[in-house]
Structures are given as structure tokens and as C-alpha cells.
Structure 1
């Protein structure tokens, strides 16, 4: 017997996490490079100070005011208003997803997605003793409806997880797929459309929120970590049928959202337009980055997120290391041969481009010297 007595299936597994390195240009975890303004910071500080007065008391377990604020925010993005009773929130969309698997997954049940997809999904399944099944996407990382429908009919999953835009590829989900898959899943399961990067989608690409009124088994998740420039806040949330929110209440930990978290999130919502003010410029920078990468001969996945997946590399780790040696940190993720770069400020993206060209040039020279 080894110590500590960890569950056997967890023994020797490395925890999830991207490298946290102190380098001049950090473009590896899809953060918004633009921080909150002085006005937003002041509002946050005042709100936290007010919350601190009653820290001897437990916070509002139902986070009623925050649910109302999040519902109003989401209602700006859909033709049918989202109601507070349709909202659930937790400490990052990671906890939201884990709670969904706790409530709707478990022993004897299955969670399903289509690879490549977010690498934490199978971990949520593992941690909740939910069987994990991964289908495959097309060559362009899109989702073929007939293939998806056939696998769902075969597996009959309790939870289907589909990020849109997809992580790590940035591929947006065809809206027609949502209604079709909700129909095939039926009331024996739920379809979770993970819109962590939803605010970055290109103009004309609708949110899955539009499909909520038609599908009671649909869940749409969002986060304040990305477009809202709140990665340090740790606030994720979902919109769904109120019955789904009630089911999550059964598995949530008591008072899981602190008073300070609720206060900061409400302050962020009051400054939503300002915090989201750089989204348009990040979209432009993303599109320019995709064009530049393709002009250099790289293959780039179409993306509606604030990152770009590009390749192909015989030795992607060597390219990743070469960029790091030049002070630029990106992400070694996705299918073999691909790398992912987050979209940063114009200055950061210039540094990335210069570093990548230098790495490629250096690699080509070494190949000539050592044929």
C-alpha cells in the first residue's frame, strides 16, 4: 500500500494546468490582455469593502442579485429574455461543468464530446465516475451532424458537451446542430453548449441562447474569465431550464459563492460595456493574425475565439521551446503538430510574429547545415 491512499485510477496522474512562466509575452491561456479601468477597479474596491462589513455572515446562498444581473446581461444577446430563475453560477465555468456532471452524470452514465475538444471534459467525467466517450470531428474541426447523431443514438449519453467556439480549435458550432442534437438526446440527457469564448464570435454567428426557448434539455454556459477580463474573478455561469438549475442545487456545496465574489461580479456587470470594449479590437487582431499565419504558409483553423490554432509542425515542442527562448509563451495543445496562440495586444502579437519567423528561419538553417 502506497501513501497517500489516493483512488487507484488517479495514481500518478499529473494535475491539469498550463505552464505559468514569467516571460515578457504570455499568450498561452486565452486571457483578455486588457485589464479593467480605474473606474471599474474603484467600483470593485468599494463593493468589496461594503461586502466586508458583513463577512461574519454567510453570503446569499441563492445569489439572487447576481442571477438577476447575469440574466439581464445575457438577454442582450438573444431575442427571448433570459430570466433569473434560468441562471446558475459557480467559481468559474469549470465548477459549473463539474456540478453538471455531478448532477446528471455518475456511475452507469455517460458523457460525450467530439475530439479535439476541451481537455478538462474527460477529467470532469473521471472525477464523477462518469463513463467518457469521445467521437471525432471532421478534418476542418467542424462537427458532422449525421456522425454526431449516430454516435449519440448508439451511446445514449446523459451529458453531451460541445464548446462553441470549440477549444482548442476556435470552431463555431452550426446553429442547426443544436436543435437537431437536442431532439435526438431527448429528455434522457442534456446538451451543454460551452460558450466560454462566445463574446468573441464573428458577426452573424448566433449564440446558442437563441435555442433555449425551444429546448428544455439545452444548457448554455458562459464565463467572466475571457471577454469580461475577469480571469482572476473565477465566475462562470449557465442559462437553462429552471428545473436544471434546481437539480444542480442538490449537489452544490453550501454557500459556494462568497460574498466578495458576488460583489466583484456585480461590479463587473455594471461596467460590462467598458470591460467588453476591447472585444472588437481583439477580433480584428485575431483575424489579422490568422491572415498573417496563412500568408506565411501555416495551416490555421477557422476561429471565432480569441486564439488561433496553427501548424503543422514535425516537432511542435521544438517550436514552442524556440518561442519561449525568445520570450513568447504560447500553448502546446490540440492535435499533434498544432500550436495555439492567444490574441494579445498589437505589441504582443508583433513580438509573436517576429519570434515565430526567427524560430522558423533558425530551424531551416539548422536543417541545411545538418541534412
Structure 2
């Protein structure tokens, strides 16, 4: 028996699971992780907290993660309180819960592609129709055209990604406002890479007081260098959080996950101290690739989308042969490289020299 013999849903037939290649190579620059590991001080603090919490693992965790949500609200600022924040196992579970509450059979979600490839996958998984809208040739989003697409299709949920993945550019607030004005349903601004944005780039968090149907999602997997913790969260009107309580699984965040996230927040100055170095390395990578005659999308994230290659698979394989793993994602002629340490980016440049 194989998958085709099982009575799975018809809309799942022929699909492939999400996943970047996991290949053991010296330089892995394909999943947008922060390349700097947690400090010894954080590791020691975490070990002590886990040891203390281990004595209570026979009991269920705090079902609604109240202490963690208070810590996250304090980190985000903007006058947010714990009843405006929700957390789950990575931002993907946050997105899934949003679609469980506001999507479903007979409802639709819209995204502007190229964008985060998990948005349509999670949408399909929640039996929500996916509506694709296009970006401009330079991957920007024209406010008028975006509003027109929303008015035409009338989706129940609209996804914006800022900075956008895989292109890297942050969305101007004017564009987000235009989408909010046109949308009847919920608007989700996915800010997974917000901490990497260039200085002065405003967050959609500033729009929350005037827009009760706006949801801003974040993660601790990127700038916080805690991808293994699996902690995503959102900020929204308290009523939105109440809606998500209706669909969340009981005790969905383990005691250990909540502990790790709270320890990370205590050490945020240390963890976020690598952001400036990664921004500088990103900007240097953009300049270097452009100097080589390649086209590069402006990036506010910890990755860079570059091209254009008639055969991007050949370039990807050539880099892999030199021990450098990057990502085939987005439009067909483009590749994406995550920003690593100075040594890793030097290896990427050396490999690119050989491949080019």
C-alpha cells in the first residue's frame, strides 16, 4: 500500500510536504536560522530552570501560558498587555490557529506571491480556499492593486509578510493601511524577521489600536536564535485571542517550551546582540552580489534573494559541491541565501566565485 491507496482528502492528493533539504554540509545557509548559538550564560540559566521545572513534569503546564504572554507583551512594548498576546509552537501553529478560527470550509485566504510558502499549505490543511494575488515585477506591493485584488476576491483572511519571505523587503505602513481599509475580514501581518529590518522601519504593531481585525505574528526562531524551542506568538485585540482559545489544543505549550522561551526573553539583550552583525553581513552580501552583476532584492531580513539564473539548479548544485547549502525557493530564476557568520559568508562568496 502507498499514499494513493489511503482515503485522504481529495485536496491533499498530489501535494508534497513542506521542507527545506536537510543535508550535512560544512556551511548551511538555507533555513534562515541565526548562526550564533546561545551564550554559555543562557545555557546555564536554562539548565537550572529546566531542572527546577522537571520536578513538576507529572503535572500539565500552564494551559494559557499566562506568565510567558506577560513577558512577550513586555518585550513587544507598544502598551500591549498579556490579554493581547498569544503563543504557540512556532509561528506556523499560530497561523494554523488563526485559520481554524477565521477560515475553514466555504472561506478563503489571500496572499501576495512570491511569499512564505507555508501560508497556502496551512490554508489547505484547514480546508480554506487559497487565493493567489501577484506582486509587482520588483516584488513590491502596489497599495491600489492590492486593495483591488481584495475587493475582487473578498477573502476572509489576508496574509502580508513584512519583511517578506523569500524576497526580504519590509512592507511600508501605507500599504498595510490600504489592505486594512479594503479587507472585510482578518489581516495577518507576518513579522517573523522584524528584528532584522533596517533602522527606522516601523512595525505593524503601531496600527493595532485603530484596527481590531489586525493580527501581527512574530517568532523566536530567527533573531532570538531559538529555532529549536519552537515558539511563535502574536499581538492582536483581546477578542482575537479569545477566538483562538476556542480552537487551541489543551496544554499545547509544554512546560519546557514555556521555560525556554521565558529564559530567552530574560537574555534578550545577549541574543539580539547578534542582529547588528547579521544586518552588516547582509548588506555586504547584497553589495557583493550586485558587484558580480547579479540582480538582488532589497532585504530587511537575515537572507538575500538573488538571481537571475537560467538554470538555478545548476548553481545550487555547484555550491553544494563546494560544501555550501542555500535554498531553491521563490521565482524559478532566483536563489536565497541565509546570512551566516563572517566565516560562513566568506565560504559562500568563495564558492560563488567558483560556480560563476
- The interval holding the TM-score normalised by the smaller chain is over 0.9
Q: Deviations over 1:321-367 (max 9, x none)?
A: 0000000000001101000000000100000001011011xxxxxxx
Q: Deviations over 1:135-187 (max 9, x none)?
A: 111111110001000011111111100110000000110111222221221xx
Please name the residue that 1:49 is paired with: 51
Please name the residue that 2:180 is paired with: 182
Q: Secondary structure at the match of 1:277?
A: helix
Aligned counterpart for 1:318 among listed residues 314, 322, 336: 314
Q: By how many angstroms is 1:41 displaced? A: 0.4
* In 1: Cα distance, 2:127 partner to 2:209 partner: 31
TM-score if structure 2 supplies the norm length?
Answer: 0.98
Please name the residue that 1:31 is paired with: 33
Q: Secondary structure at the match of 2:158?
A: strand
Q: By how many angstroms is 1:47 displaced? A: 1.2
Q: By how many angstroms is 1:3 displaced? A: 3.2
Contact 1:179–1:215 (CA under 8 A) maintained in structure 2: no
Please name the residue that 1:7 is paired with: 9
* In 2: Cα distance, 1:231 partner to 1:212 partner: 27
Please name the residue that 2:335 is paired with: 339
1:94-113 correspondence to structure 2 within 5 Å = 94-113=92-111
Q: Deviations over 1:118-139 (max 9, x none)?
A: 1111111111111110111111
Q: By how many angstroms is 1:21 displaced? A: 0.5
Contact 2:144–2:178 (CA under 8 A) maintained in structure 1: no
* In 2: Cα distance, 1:183 partner to 1:82 partner: 23
Aligned counterpart for 1:273 among listed residues 258, 269, 277: 269
Contact 1:178–1:211 (CA under 8 A) maintained in structure 2: no
Q: Secondary structure at the match of 1:118?
A: coil
Please name the residue that 1:364 is paired with: none
Aligned counterpart for 1:354 among listed residues 345, 350, 355: 350
The alignment status of 1:138 with 2:143, answered yes or no, reads no
Residues matched between the structures, number? 354
Please name the residue that 1:241 is paired with: 237
Aligned counterpart for 1:74 among listed residues 53, 58, 76: 76
Q: Which moved more, 1:1-10 or 1:188-197?
A: 1-10
Please name the residue that 2:24 is paired with: 22
Please name the residue that 2:145 is paired with: 147
Q: Structure 1: give runs of 5+ residues left out of the alignment.
A: 361-371
Please name the residue that 1:157 is paired with: 155
The alignment status of 1:191 with 2:187, answered yes or no, reads yes
Q: By how many angstroms is 1:243 displaced? A: 0.4
